Structure 1
Amino acid sequence: MTALPRGESPGPSATDDDSVVADATAPSPAEEAAAGTAEATGGATDDGTDDGETAAATGATDTDGTDEAAAGPDPADATDEGPDGDAAAGSAGSADGDTPAAPALSEAEVELAAQRELLERIEKRKAEKDGPIPAGTKLSGPAADLLAAVRAVESGEKPGAAFFDSPAPAVPRRTVPAPPPVRERAPESVRAPQGAAPEAVAAVAAVLAAGGAPESLAAPAAGTLGAQAADTLREDPWQLLSLPGVGPDQADGFARALLGDGCGPDDERRTAALVGWLLERAALQGHTALDATEVRAALAGRSVTDPDAAVQHAVAEGVVLVFQHGPEDEETGEPAEAPDAGADAGEGEETGDGREPVQVFLGLDRYALAEESLADGLARLVNACEKDADWSQAAASAPSPSAAELIRTAAAHGLVAHTGGEAARAEPAALIAAASGLGLRALGATHSVDGRQRLAEAVGDPSAAVTLAGLLSGAEGPGRDEEGAVAVDLLVVLDAPQVDVETGAMLVEALADGTRLVLSGDPGVLGSAGAGRVFADVLAARACPQVVSRTPDPGPIGELVSGIGVGELNQVAAPGKEVVIVPVRDAGEAVHRTVQLVADSVPRAIGVPSSDTQVITVGHGGSAGTRALNEALKQRLNPGPGRFGGFDPGDRIAHVPAPGRTVPGVVVSADAEGLHLDCAGTPAVVPQERVEASVRHAWALSAHQAAGMRWPAVVVVLPGDAAQGLSRPWVYTAFGRGERHLSVVHGVDQALSRAVTQSPAQDRTTRLRTLLEASGG
């Protein structure tokens, strides 16, 4: 083993299904895997979905919360459509082209005309008055009825009780729409069927059989589409696309079998389902919206002959919502009028006055509501902060200048963004301790159980740290006050890049006015498993004060990772073998060397036992993905027959109770109740029917699974067939998981250097930044 040479770095392996952005020029793996499988009952596909996931035919979601099958619309399929002049925004004039439009009146002329009209009405009323008006004679409708009822009671014609017991007159009144309900995140995947009635499942199975689809889809369909799922699928077979893992080719084959010649590529049921499917796939990649041009191009690639009409129909049916980004109107301050959603606005639709074009986006309502709720909630926190204590002494006694700056900033603002690496986590801990010392209710929330334990140790108070999921579910933390808000005065959210937009909306909705919120994290790491880029958007919008830590990560690993963060892959001095590179020629050698490192070399040379060494690789599939590595590591470290659904006592596992959440643990035993786990000291029981979908071996993890956690030693495996899965955020995240030692099994030649030196582009399309900027945050 030699120290990492300058300009070189470990190489990638099988495609990472945890990478947020798929290759835009290649077809989605889900589309390839799903094609032609409508008749299959389907085992797991090797397309980046994990062992714990069922194949496309079963409809199960990726338990990581990410899905390689979720590639967005393919730009390669885009057609060169010119803007539709008839749909252009800002067109004016009468319907008859020969009749000129009436000249517009000035504001002064309009005001004078209104005053003349008012004077004329007053003079007319005066002229009509011949004498006093009898009370009530000019009343009509409900007012006249009310007056008549009162006089009837006064004259004795009716008793007062009759008046009060009679129904109130029906007065038309304007109603205010109720606010949208708060979306609570279920502990399991929202796609998982929950107790569908047996008769509903049987009815769906009959429809599926008639269409040549596998019976295994019956339970997921009944759970997703409800009790009337059979009728729904019979009337609209393309609703099959609402099941996870089902692709357009499957749905088209199913529809043809049911409808025969009664369907075609431009069937409105098909095009509406395709639009929704494209947005769902994009959301799995992290997008909360897509440019309308991309959607139309993807529809054209799916044989839709009129993508414009298809998009317009989907909007009219409420499948998607339309948003616009563009210059504000100078007079109203509102965004300029957007072109029709079906028009080719992605190329840039002129506003009519030579300004920048208006861009049209399409999005699903759940993410639109979440982003708007989050933007409003953050603005509320910014404006509701009040001085509640004297923080000057706490800042003066802070352990570092950066911690002091964070304390002073949090004292004066309701929302603060804090950025820094692993060493900078001590600064939020100092803030929590300082706030607690002032008598405030202060709490820190992390992405992982490991992060919670490290934060509790840094603060010196186990009760001061929770996981964010545990806090929102009520399983951890101080609970809610009488108004339903989390009972805290200061909440620090560490690992903020891992917060998706729906979680962010739930979080701010749970905070009372006056609560201080600090979002802290490392902007260089991989983003959230769910849709959105909350932390990045808050930073980009400058929605609040930002405190940048000046505390560097120590040691050779910290130096290496810091360089990667700015696009440099440098040679670092590693006298204690803190950083080691292991060159390999192929994936088979990569697996062999990885097992050797974990089982022998790292324990002997570094003193870190195998149980404290974590393997991280680029993807689940492939010859050196997590599946292959976990199989090889189990055979070496804990051999057994796998008598408990593939697991044995002592197996290292990752429990995924909900998408995007990975809880490491060890198998204890199994019985009729389920698989018994020890997850970081907390016992957990996974029912038998959920083991396959939510438990996997975890000697090897992907970088997304490892986000928010650290181990004494890490082995990063980069086989040659995963070069395309590498990016600077991926390398930054994977290399930064080791505390004392980092071994890199390198098989990608210069691909790693290229991945690090290339500037990462914004990989997700979201609306939060625009909303925050519009709110004046």
Structure 2
Amino acid sequence: MTNDKAAELLAAVRAVESGERSAASFFAEPKPSRPERPGTERPGRPAAPSARPAVPPPGGPGAAAAGTVTVPDEVRAVLTEGGAPEALGRRVAEALGEGAAELLRADPWQLLAVAGVRPEQADGFARALLGEDCSPGDPRRAEALVVHLLERAALSGHTALEPDALAKGLAQHAVPEPDEAVRGAIEAGAVLVFEDALDAGPVPAPPAPQEGEDGEGEPETPVRMLVGLDRYALAEESLADGLARLTSTFAPSAEEDEGWAEAARSAPSPSAAELITAAARHGLVAHTGGEAARAEPAALLTAARALGVRAYGAAHTENGRARLEELTPREPAPEDDGAGTGAENVGAGSDVVTVAGLLAGREGPGRDEDGAWDLDLLVVCDAPQLDTETAAMLVESLRDGSRLVLSGDPAQLGSAGPGQVFKDLLAARFCAQVVSRTPDPGPVGELVSGIGIGELNQVEAPGKEVVIVPVRDAGEAVHRTVQLLADSVPRAIGVPAEHTQVITPGHGGAAGTRALNAAAKERLNPGPGRFGGFDPGDRVAHSPSPGRTTMGAVVSADEAGLHLDCAGQTVTVPRERVAETVRHGWAVTAHQAAGMRWPAAVVVLPGDATGALTREWVYTAFGRGERHLSVVHGAGEALPRAVASVHAPERTTRLRTLLEAALREEAEQAAAASAREQDDTPTES
């Protein structure tokens, strides 16, 4: 493709992206000429993505990205021919694997499988490669868009979508006959379709036939049809099966009964006693409560350890792991034998770990010959942050007969990944549930507890535990935030800037994380940003994978990449991964901050971000400060309105339906067994 034609194509794509032109008009213009190629017959689609492995690759944070991917010359050539930037080559090779060039020539819309590529860009690429053969109704385009829409929905937490929602999305991309296009994608095997029964609870007995009826037939059960990608379908079904396995294979030991009873009697609170009793009797327990209730799973771990039970606790973040470990003191572990003492062994040998470290094998117990963890009880805190795939991997790694306790605050924001595991588990009433009665203390705890029930109350804060700072615009919000971070909070509260976290609704905008971090860096650690925009001493947020953020600081940089100190661990981020995984971290979003707490928090509510406010967002953000909370308030009435009545969007998932179906099946089997026993019981003549 000549430079002129590439420029024309880029201009057309940008016009569609900006809304100046419709997607349909993009295909109506004369197509660019292209050399004829043999083999224009449409090949079969590539195999659908396989289910996630039972165990993720080992290594520290970012280890999976440490290796460099070689970009074949054929990939560079097809990208150039299609007018795509050559810099996209690495991501194309990672996403499409071996044979990427041949796949793109046969089906250019497979470019949509590459992270960051938008439909308009894939259309431009296809138009350059296919010429006259390119049309908005191409089945290949429709299938790729269906998969793309489902992947986009996963970023919002959905594991599946209703067909009508998919058809609506296709129509917005000028796909003719979108309903037929959805059916075509299903028939081609690009996606899966599910019909899940919506009936909740045990199936009732059929009504007696009325006069004039023959009594044949059964009442219809309402169903919900959903369309999804196989990776999330397999994860939810595996998770539902695994949870059912834990409940059915666990049998309490009569020998341990007295020990558990004594532990419950000695528990530090009634709620802790209730949790210990539930864990003694059940293989699966859900525990809910705020930050103060974290002491209850800690008490369970301590009690289990005293009874000789191999018990481990896991948290979503390193920050959460450290807080849980503080509540579960134990005797120091034996000194290392010298086999390994570096950061790669942080957490190894400890019975309090991070979820990511546990799954990667860096922390926690070893695995037996069947791949199951060598433990009897796993307590997972921050359970709302579990996405479907992570939860499935956890449950798959538990052996039959072991115990699992999921603990967390259901009022917080949900997981960054697809699914709402904890919420679905609670809603299905699938297992024993323990509701903590331990309130969060102090003015911050009182404020956050009120938000959880929809009330934004004024609280007494004699020690300036809660401070509201009104601002008129975003510029003033940024100025006051940096002032609080660098001066006011350290001076008045005694919490230094490095222990104070700024939280704001989004990355963009005049008072988003980018603007706030730029201002904070200029004040707290000015420098030229000679390491890809970073300098030694910069506070950073490292996100090696979606939904997983570790706070740290820049140490240095060299040919190997950017060297970070993340909670005492040395992490090296390869140069090509820095831009997409590392941000400055004086300010983060509430989703990034979930599972972490700091001595002080400054929450920024700019007027241009009021649409992002929900009760869950406010509850999560306001609860990140342990001793102090400053609210830079420019949201006006949007704040009390969000707390009172605006909730995070509902996620479309299948786990609750699958769990309810398992309960109905169990009830039917129990009823059938009871009926057989009655039939076998001899009667007196």
Same-fold status (TM-score > 0.5): yes
1:522 counterpart (380, 395, 409): 409
CA-CA distance at 1:611 after TM superposition: 1.1
The one of 204, 222, 238 equivalent to 1:373 is 238
Cα distance change, pair 209–671 in 1 and its aligned pair in 2 (3 A): closer
Q: CA deviation at 1:375?
A: 0.3
Q: Which residue number corresponds to residue 456 of structure 1?
A: 325
Q: Which residue of 2 aligns with 1:446?
A: 315
Q: 2: distance between equivalents of 1:638 and 1:762?
A: 38
> Given the alignment, which residue of 437, 450, 471 partners 2:306?
437
Is 1:285 the equivalent of 2:156?
yes
Post-superposition CA distance 1:9-56 (Å, at most 9, x none):
xxxxxxxxxxxxxxxxxxxxxxxxxxx99739x99xxxxxxxxxxxx9
Output aligned runs, 1:341-420, within 5 Å.
357-388=222-253, 389-390=256-257, 391-420=260-289
Distance 1:571 1:362 in 2: 46
Q: State the alpha-carbon separation in 2 of the partners of residues 694 and 714 from structure 1.
A: 23
Q: Distance in 2 between matches of 1:308 and 1:753?
A: 41
Equivalent in the alignment of 2:595? 708
The 8 Å contact of residues 430 and 659 in structure 2, kept in 1 or not, is answered as: yes
> Is the alpha carbon distance of 1:635 and 1:37 closer, same or farther for their aligned partners in structure 2, counting shifts above 3 Å?
farther
- Structure 2 regions of 5+ residues with no counterpart? 1-6, 18-49, 205-216, 333-349, 667-685
**Structure-2 change in CA distance of 1:762 and 1:774 (3 Å):** farther
Paired residue for 1:234?
Answer: 105
Question: Residues 495 and 741 from structure 1, CA distance in 2 versus in 1: closer, same or farther, beyond 3 angstroms?
Answer: same
State the SS of the aligned residue for 2:189. coil
Q: Is the 8 Å Cα contact of residues 613 and 639 (structure 2) preserved in structure 1?
A: yes
Question: Is the CA contact 2:593–2:624 (under 8 Å) kept in the aligned structure 1?
Answer: yes
2:622 to 727, 735, 748: 735
Q: Secondary structure at the match of 2:548?
A: coil
Cα contact 1:193–1:224 (8 A) shared by 2: no
Amino acid at match of 1:486: W
Q: How does 1:138-287 map to 2 (within 5 A)?
A: 182-186=53-57, 195-198=68-71, 200=72, 202-287=73-158
Task: Give the CA deviation at 1:329.
Answer: 13
Displacement of 1:464 in angstroms is 2.4
Q: Give the aligned partner of residue 502 of structure 2.
A: 615
Q: Does 1:640 align with 2:527?
A: yes
Deviates more, 1:523-532 or 1:381-390: 381-390
8 A contact 1:417–1:520 mirrored in 2: yes
Distance 1:508 1:753 in 2: 39
State the Cα deviation string for residues 418-468 of structure 1 (Å, max 9, x = none): 000000000000000000000001110000101111111101138221001
> 1:309 maps to which residue?
180
- 8 A Cα contact 1:315 1:321, kept in partner: yes
- 2:592 is paired with a residue of what secondary structure? helix
Describe the shift of the 1:192–1:439 C-alpha distance in structure 2 as closer, same or farther (beyond 3 A).
Answer: closer
Give the distance between the partners of 1:697 and 1:331, measured in 2 at CA.
Answer: 52
What does residue 543 of structure 1 align with?
Answer: 430
Q: Give the Cα separation in 2 of the matches to 1:681 and 1:645.
A: 23
User: Which one of 741, 752, 769 corresponds to residue 639 of structure 2?
Assistant: 752
Residues of 2 paired with 1:197 and 1:667: CA distance? Answer: 28
Q: Partner letter of residue 314 of structure 1?
A: A
Q: Equivalents in 2 of 1:180, 1:217: separation in Å?
A: 26
| Cα distance in 1 between the residues matched to 2:537 and 2:329 | 31
Residue type of the partner of 2:278?
T
Give distance in 1, aligned partners of 2:243 and 2:464. 45
What is the rounded CA distance, in whole Å, between the counterparts of 1:197 and 1:562 in structure 2? 52
Letter in 2 for 1:632: A
In the TM superposition, residue 762 of structure 1 has moved relative to its aligned partner by 5.4
TM-score by length of 2: 0.82
- Tell me: CA distance 1:435–1:192, structure 2 relative to 1, closer, same or farther (3 Å): closer
Q: Distance in 1 between matches of 2:577 and 2:556?
A: 16
TM-score (normalised: structure 1)? 0.72
1:189 deviation in Å? 8.3
Relative to structure 2, which stretch is displaced further, 305-314 or 585-594? 305-314
**Which of 345, 354, 369 is matched with 1:482 structurally?**
369
What residue number does 2:340 align with? Answer: none
Letter in 1 for 2:229: L
* Structure 1 residue 248 displacement after superposition: 1.5
- SS of structure 1 residue aligned to 2:462: coil
> SS where residue 238 of structure 1 aligns?
helix
The secondary structure found in structure 1 opposite 2:600 is: strand
User: Using the alignment, how far apart are the partners of 1:485 and 1:227 within structure 2?
Assistant: 32
8 Å contact 1:191–1:244 — kept in the other structure? no
Partners in 2 of 1:311 and 1:230 — Cα distance? 27
Q: 5 Å matches for 1:327-346?
A: none
- 1:73-99 residue CA offsets vs partner (Å, 9 max, x unmatched): xxxxxxxxxxxxxxxxxxxxxxxxxxx
Which shows bigger deviation, 685-694 or 426-435?
Answer: 685-694
For the residue of structure 1 that corresponds to 2:544, the secondary structure is coil
Change (3 A) 1:376 1:459: same
In structure 2, which of residues 469, 476, 480 is the aligned counterpart of residue 593 of structure 1?
A: 480
Query: Relative contact order, CA 8 A, sep 6+: which one is greater?
Result: 1
Q: Distance in 1 between matches of 2:492 and 2:554?
A: 28
Superposed displacement of residue 687, structure 1: 2.4
The separation in 1 between residues aligned to 2:450 and 2:522, in whole angstroms, is 37
Q: 1:359 to 1:474 in 2, by over 3 A?
A: same
Closer, same or farther: CA 194–285 of 1 in aligned 2, 3 Å: farther
- Tell whether 2:571 aligns with 1:684: yes
Structure of greater Rg: 1
1:655 Cα deviation after fit: 1.8
The alpha-carbon deviation at position 676 of structure 1 amounts to 2.1
Q: Could you say which residue in structure 1 is the equivalent of 2:537?
A: 650
Instruction: State the secondary structure of the residue aligned to 1:39.
Output: helix
* Structure 1 residue 693: Cα displacement: 2.1
Closer, same or farther: CA 476–189 of 1 in aligned 2, 3 Å: closer
1:586–1:747 CA contact under 8 A, matched in 2: yes
Q: Which residue of 2 is the match for residue 605 of structure 1?
A: 492
Shift of 1:288: 0.3
Structure 1, unmatched stretches of 5+, are: 1-35, 44-55, 57-178, 334-351
Q: Tell whether the 8 Å contact from 1:39 to 1:214 is kept in structure 2 after alignment.
A: no
Distance in 1 separating the partners of 2:200 and 2:439: 46
Which residue of the other structure, out of 293, 297, 308, is the alignment partner of 1:428?
297
After superposition, the Cα gap between the structure-2 partners of 1:505 and 1:331, relative to the gap in structure 1 and judged at 3 Å, is closer
CA contact (8 A) 2:616 2:648 kept: no
> Quick check: 1:192–1:220 contact (8 Å CA) kept in 2?
no
Aligned 8 A contact 2:603 2:622 in 1:
yes
CA distance in 2, matches of 1:487, 1:553: 34
Q: 1:205 to 1:191 in 2, by over 3 A?
A: farther
What amino acid does structure 1 have at the position aligned with 2:251? E
- Distance change >3 Å, CA 37–CA 222, structure 1 → 2: farther
The whole-number CA distance in structure 1 between the counterparts of 2:428 and 2:203 is: 22
The answer to whether the Cα contact below 8 Å between 2:66 and 2:574 also exists between their aligned partners in 1 is: no
| Structure 1 residues 94-105: aligned runs within 5 Å | none
Partner secondary structure for residue 142 of structure 2? helix
Name 1:95's counterpart in structure 2: none
Preserved CA contact (<8 Å) 1:37 1:250? no
Does 1:512 pair with 2:404?
Answer: no
1:261 CA displacement:
2.0
Q: Secondary structure at the match of 1:532?
A: coil
| Deviation (angstroms), 1:208 | 1.9
